[in-house]
Amino acid sequence: MSRFSANLPVRPKGSLKNLWPLLRYLKPYRIQVLGAGLSLLFVSGAVLGMGAALRYLVDNGLSKGDVGLLNQAFFMLLAVIILLACASYSRFFLVSWLGEKVVADIRSDIYRHLISMDISYFEKTRTGELLSRLTTDTTLLQTVIGGSIPVAIRNSLMFFGGFSLLFITSAKLTSYLFLVVPIVVIPIILLGKKVRSLGRESQEKVADISAHAEESLNSIRTLQSLTLEEYEKQNFNLHVEEALQAANSRIRARAFLTALVILLVFGAIITVLWLGGHDVLNGSISGGQLSEFVFYSVVVAGAVGAISEVVVDLQRAAGAGERLSELITIHPEITSPNDVGQLVINEANIDFEKVTFFYPTRIDKPAIENFSLSVEAGQTIALVGQSGAGKTTLFQLLLRFYDPSSGRIRLNGLDIKDIPLNRLRSAIGIVPQDPVIFSISARENIRLGNIDATDEQIEAAAKAASALEFLEKLPKGLDTYLGEKGVQLSGGQRQRIAIARAVIRDPKILLLDEATSALDSENEYHIQKALELAMKGRTTFVIAHRLSTVTKADKIILLSDGKIEAIGTHRELMEKSQLYARLAELQINLAA
């Protein structure tokens, strides 16, 4: 079993109905759709008109030996072909443009929807599979909207139009063709279901490849340090082989379906032509009529074959549409109230009221249990405790990455659930223990804290975080590209950029999660000075093990298994809490 198979949603079987919700993206482009439709009608009409022109050419030009009539028929056919070429250009351009535009809109909507989802959704969903849906599935839809659907419409028009003209040309011969319709349609329906199922399986195997590659490449340092390159190659090849086998099964089924349709359709046409040849010999129909009937038979047969191919494509697209619809219809559990634009957060008084919280993936044990705490604006609160005590969880609750299972958190008397998410999070600056550096320049990385910041403000923030000196030494200074996830920087340098990003945000609440953990003693001294300035006038929560940060806090909260073990100053806790004294002693020994 794939290591990525856990927590996958159970999906119903694919259905062409899954494409209907996505076709709403065509509504803004009604004029282009109308133009494409008219072009399709004209193309189909021009092709069908060639049958009548062919009959005229045979009966009036060739049979009568009249050169003038032959030339007239030739130029009539030539005119039809020229108009057909022009209409085909218009059709191809419009439907291809529609395919590209609609898929671009779908991708934008899905991405916008994904980045608004709550954190718990991403804990249960593989990033690689999401990327596969955003790229592979939407590309398949582009092929269908820009190619398969117009082909289906055009061939449907030619099928029904051709069948009607077959009746007009020879009702007797057409009745013979009706006998083979069930023989052709039934295999398409039965084998189409099989191909659709195999197509969906193939798509899921490709998603497994994407998920595996995404996780492996994101963990490349760990893999190489553990010398797992060969193991990962074999593991990846296994996923590739599974995808290849699924694709081969789909290809075999589709090839068999295509061959069967060709055999049945053209076998029936040859049989009917044999019968028609006898009618020409006994004078029941003219040579021109038989030629016209042959032409329309080929048109109808070609339309049936094309439609059978398109049905397979549509069934594959139905699987993609189903996967995309799943993304669009899922709603975040963390919702934001409407922003009426009246709330202004000038300070941050925070109250935790009997907060209990279970992680969605760990519902057997609370991460935070019955936590109550009142914090006045401007105070600095230090959170200490062993790993897993719940310190970082409190940060995530403040940011509303999750909502408490019970209890509530108030900001200036308002439940944070009643504060628009953008206003709540705009009032918070965070320096995580493992900061994320984006694949852009150092300047733009800092600017992410305040996208309206000027270059002067960015440089001032970098200086306040003791980052300006090393950034100016880079090849292009602050405009140097920092590589994937800041690979060109050390851990301490990445952390200082994260601090600069928080400083430039000018938040009312500052969250410091081991903000100096990756710094040496000299840099830590400078950062501590910068942080002291940044913390002034702000409500600050600090997760730190180093006593240099803890001792200056207004309150120290000692956490154990998600519960408050003790509250007080450093001196008070050293006297009344054996757990705190032991943690402090461990830090002193480590520092020594």
For the ranges 47-51, 116-120, 196-200, 478-482, the maximum mean pLDDT occurs at 478-482
Q: What is the CATH number of the domain that holds 453?
A: 3.40.50.300
* CA atoms of 517 and 524, how far apart (whole Å): 8
pLDDT, greater one: 288 or 498: 498
φ/ψ of residue 446, rounded to 5:
-70, -40
- Helix (H) / strand (E) containing 355: strand 350-357
Considering only CA atoms, give the Rg of the chain: 35
Tell me which DSSP letter residue 336 carries. Answer: -
Q: Which tokens is 444 given? A: 């733009």
Identity of the amino acid at 64: K
Give percent above pLDDT 90 in the chain. 5
167 pLDDT tier (thresholds 50, 70, 90): confident
Does 528 map to a domain? no
Tell me which DSSP letter residue 144 carries. Answer: I
How far from 106 is each of 103, 137, 223, 353, CA to CA, in Å? 5, 11, 35, 42
Lowest mean pLDDT among 40-49, 163-172, 219-228: 219-228
Do both 131 and 277 map to the same domain?
A: yes
Does 259 map to a domain? yes
Do both 446 and 323 map to the same domain?
A: no
Does 473 map to a domain? yes
Over residues 7-25, the mean pLDDT reads 56
The order of strands in the sheet holding 414-415 is 368-375, 350-357, 406-411, 414-415
Among the three residues 313, 329, 345, which one is the final residue of a domain in this structure?
329
For CA atoms 239, 244, 247, 249, the dihedral sign is: negative
- Please name every residue paired with 513 in a beta bridge, in sequence order, or none if there are none: 543
Do both 444 and 324 map to the same domain?
A: no
Does 7 map to a domain? no
pLDDT, greater one: 258 or 398: 398
Does 380 map to a domain? no
Q: For 444-455, write each residue's pLDDT tens digit.
A: 889 888 888 899
Over residues 42-51, the mean pLDDT reads 76
Averaged pLDDT score across all residues of the chain:
78
Do both 165 and 312 map to the same domain?
A: yes
pLDDT, greater one: 439 or 5: 439
Do both 321 and 441 map to the same domain?
A: no
- Nearest Cα to 378, choosing from 221, 220, 538, 528? 538
Identity of the amino acid at 448: L
pLDDT at 184: 65
Tell me which DSSP letter residue 469 carries. Answer: H
* CA atoms of 545 and 531, how far apart (whole Å): 16
In sequence order, what DSSP letters do the residues of 495-519 get, joined into one string?
A: HHHHHHHHHHH--SEEEEESTTTT-
Whether the predicted pLDDT of 8 surpasses 50: no
Give percent above pLDDT 70 in the chain. 83
Place of tokens 């490349």: 220
Do both 446 and 310 map to the same domain?
A: no
94 pLDDT tier (thresholds 50, 70, 90): confident
Q: What angle do CA 388, 394, 398 make, to 5 degrees?
A: 155
Q: Please say whether the beta carbons of 505 and 450 come within 8 A.
A: yes
Residue 374 CB: number of other CB atoms within 10 A?
Answer: 12
What's the CA dihedral at 89, 92, 96, 97 to 10 degrees? 40
Among the three residues 506, 539, 566, which one is the final residue of a domain in this structure?
506
Q: What is the CATH number of the domain that holds 72?
A: 1.20.1560.10
Whether the predicted pLDDT of 461 surpasses 50: yes
Does 315 map to a domain? yes
Do both 323 and 453 map to the same domain?
A: no
408 pLDDT tier (thresholds 50, 70, 90): very high
Whether the predicted pLDDT of 392 surpasses 60: yes
pLDDT at 10: 38
96 pLDDT tier (thresholds 50, 70, 90): confident
pLDDT at 352: 93
pLDDT, greater one: 222 or 310: 310
398 pLDDT tier (thresholds 50, 70, 90): very high
Q: For 501-528, write each residue's pLDDT tens digit.
A: 888 888 889 898 876 655 566 666 666 7
Whether the predicted pLDDT of 169 surpasses 90: no
* CA atoms of 529 and 499, how far apart (whole Å): 12
pLDDT at 241: 85
pLDDT at 11: 42
Place of tokens 């002067």: 456
- Residue 56 sits in which domain range? 20-329
* CA atoms of 226 and 230, how far apart (whole Å): 11
**How many domains does the chain fold into?**
2
Whether the predicted pLDDT of 19 surpasses 70: no
* Local structure of 377: helix, strand or coil: coil
pLDDT, greater one: 16 or 251: 251
pLDDT, greater one: 148 or 98: 98
Does 120 map to a domain? yes
Identity of the amino acid at 2: S
196 pLDDT tier (thresholds 50, 70, 90): low
Q: Please say whether the beta carbons of 501 and 443 come within 8 A.
A: no
pLDDT at 515: 63
Among the three residues 506, 535, 565, which one is the final residue of a domain in this structure?
506
Q: For 334-369, write each residue's pLDDT tens digit.
A: 888 877 666 778 888 999 999 999 987 788 889 999
Do both 31 and 146 map to the same domain?
A: yes
Does 111 map to a domain? yes
Q: For 261-283, write each residue's pLDDT tens digit.
A: 777 767 776 777 777 777 777 77
Q: Please say whether the beta carbons of 110 and 328 come within 8 A.
A: yes
pLDDT at 357: 93
φ/ψ of residue 409, rounded to 5:
-120, 130
